Amino acid sequence: SQKIEQNSEALNIQEGKTATLTCNYTNYSPAYLQWYRQDPGRGPVFLLLIRENEKEKRKERLKVTFDTTLKQSLFHITASQPADSATYLCALDNFNKFYFGSGTKLNVKP
């Protein structure tokens, strides 16, 4: 069956460290993959988009990689801050159908 897997366990890291979140998928051939941030009681907010022919994308302290052979995307936050604490979701577009992962909660401790 088709599915997207994100680590359901919370990721706890110390302020200043790099946070790395994983998004694995099976049985999809996405043309695009996106990452969103969701805070409690709010809707998801778009962060980054990466295309299938791109290996890496950066935006300020954020970096996303996309390995279509491994069927995996990694999302990195460098120099993490307590304000980065949130749930991060990946989303992919597979032939005009859209799927979201269940998200990974990131806790950045001061």
Contacts of 74 (CB under 8 A, 6+ apart): 20, 21, 22, 23, 64, 65
Of residues 67, 73, 105, 100, the one with CA closest to residue 86: 105
Beta carbon nearer to other proteins, 6 or 18: 6
Beta carbon nearer to other proteins, 16 or 56: 56
Beta carbon nearer to other proteins, 15 or 22: 22
CB of 15 to other proteins, least distance (A): 28
CB of 3 to other proteins, least distance (A): 10
Other beta carbons within 10 angstroms of residue 15's beta carbon come to: 14
CB of 70 to other proteins, least distance (A): 20
Residues that bind other proteins (CB under 8 A): 30-34, 41-46, 49, 51, 89, 91-93, 96-103
Beta carbon nearer to other proteins, 24 or 99: 99
CB of 42 to other proteins, least distance (A): 5
How far apart are the C-alpha atoms of 98 and 107, rounded to whole Å?
Answer: 27
Is residue 99 a contact partner of residue 89, using CB atoms and an 8 Å limit? no
